[in-house]
Amino acid sequence: MATTTVCNVSQHVQVPCIRRVDPARPVAWLGAGVRDFFGVWPVSLGYGLVIAGLSYLLVNSGWTRPALALTLTIAFLLIGAFLAVGFYDLSLRRERDLAGATQTRVFATLRGNLGSIGLFVVLLAFAVSVWERISAILAALYLGSSGVSDASLLWLFSLEHPWLLLGFISFSVLLALAVFSLSVVSLPMLMDRQVDLVTAMMTSLWVVWENRPAMLVWAVLVAALTALGALTWFVGLAVIFPILGHATWHAYRELVE
């Protein structure tokens, strides 16, 4: 494993040192996530089933209630980092158990920095609301007063309105990349250390900038595996989401010194 440690020398921004890693390292994070999943599989799978069930209910309600379809689908992707907090906690406790350290109480690390984590959740909620409003504006500008009787995913991807589809995809990708860059290590860091939200997000942005090839591979893996889980009517998500959550913890451990 080839890594290089990079430290910030600015006196105005205090962030921890980070590591540059090979582009193939995300595969190793997934492997570590699989090991964690099987190491604590009863709890991890149980939590994964809850997440998969809730995801199915939310998206299914979007299909039957057209106005919610687009919002709920992207909202799930945007808030995924927060939904995975249980898996970060499981990985942390398993890590300490394997090291012979004293076990911590469930979510003890989360409660220790609850203020900053709460602000992070507010930020994610704001991103979801911005996405919902912008997507509605795009549809209104394109369709004018004609409206649409079934503003669902089937309607959007029917290619009946290709420019609207292009605008929707472009904006969704940009917003997803922004949220990904701000959150890729933020929440695990907030759970692991007594730092403020700005420090965590600055560290996350720096990690992404210094590891652009690896982060691109990681983003593609997360998106592809999440889509695979959704295409199985969310059954596969019960296993895939926990593995991604555990893997994210190991990504943080390796990337932030």
pLDDT tens digits, one per residue of 17-64:
899 999 999 999 999 999 999 999 999 999 999 888 887 776 666 554
Per the domain annotation, does 192 fall within a domain? yes
Domain count, the chain: 1
Per the domain annotation, does 246 fall within a domain? yes
pLDDT tens sequence across 93-114? 888 776 665 555 556 666 667 7
Per the domain annotation, does 12 fall within a domain? no
Work out the mean pLDDT of the chain and round it to a whole number: 79
Per the domain annotation, does 197 fall within a domain? yes
Instruction: Give the residue numbers spanning the domain of 138.
Output: 23-255
Per the domain annotation, does 117 fall within a domain? yes
The closest alpha carbon to 256, from 188, 163, 164, belongs to 188
User: How far, rounded to the nearest angstrom, does the alpha carbon of residue 245 sit from its chain's CA centroid?
Assistant: 8
Per the domain annotation, does 3 fall within a domain? no
Please give the DSSP secondary-structure letter assigned to residue 235: T
Question: Quick check: 256 and 79 in contact, CB under 8 A?
Answer: no
Per the domain annotation, does 18 fall within a domain? no
Please report which helix (H) or strand (E) contains residue 18, including its range: strand 18-20
Per the domain annotation, does 5 fall within a domain? no
Question: Going by C-beta distance under 8 Å and a sequence separation of 6 or more, which residues neighbour residue 257?
Answer: 5, 16, 17, 18, 19
The structure's pTM equals 0.84
Please give the DSSP secondary-structure letter assigned to residue 68: G
Alpha-carbon distances, residue 110 vs 186, 200, 245 (angstroms):
13, 14, 15
* pLDDT > 70 in the chain, percent: 72
